[in-house]
Chains A and B, each alone.
Chain A
Amino acid sequence: GESVGLHLPTLSVQEGDNSIINCAYSNSASDYFIWYKQESGKGPQFIIDIRSNMDKRQGQRVTVLLNKTVKHLSLQIAATQPGDSAVYFCAESDNYGQNFVFGPGTRLSVLP
Chain B
Amino acid sequence: ETGVTQSPTHLIKTRGQQVTLRCSSQSGHNTVSWYQQALGQGPQFIFQYYREEENGRGNFPPRFSGLQFPNYSSELNVNALELDDSALYLCASSSEGGDEQYFGPGTRLTVT
Q: Which residues of A contact B (CB under 8 A)?
A: 1, 4, 32, 34, 36, 41-46, 49, 89, 91, 93, 95-105
* Stretch in B14-22, B66-74, B77-85, B103-111 with 4+ CB within 8 Å of A: B103-111
Q: Most chain-A CB neighbours within 10 Å: which of B92, B101, B102?
A: B101
B40 surroundings in chain A (CB, below 8 A): 104-105
Q: Mostly helix, strand, loop or mixed at chain B's interface?
A: loop
User: B: which residues have CB within 8 A of A?
Assistant: 2, 4, 33, 35, 40-45, 48, 55-56, 58-59, 90, 92, 94, 98-106
Q: Which single residue of chain B is at the shortest CB-CB distance from A90?
A: B42
Is B103's CB under 8 angstroms from A44's CB? Answer: yes
12 sample A-B contacts, Cβ–Cβ < 8 Å, listed by A number: A32-B99, A41-B105, A43-B2, A43-B105, A44-B92, A46-B102, A97-B98, A97-B100, A100-B101, A102-B35, A102-B42, A105-B40
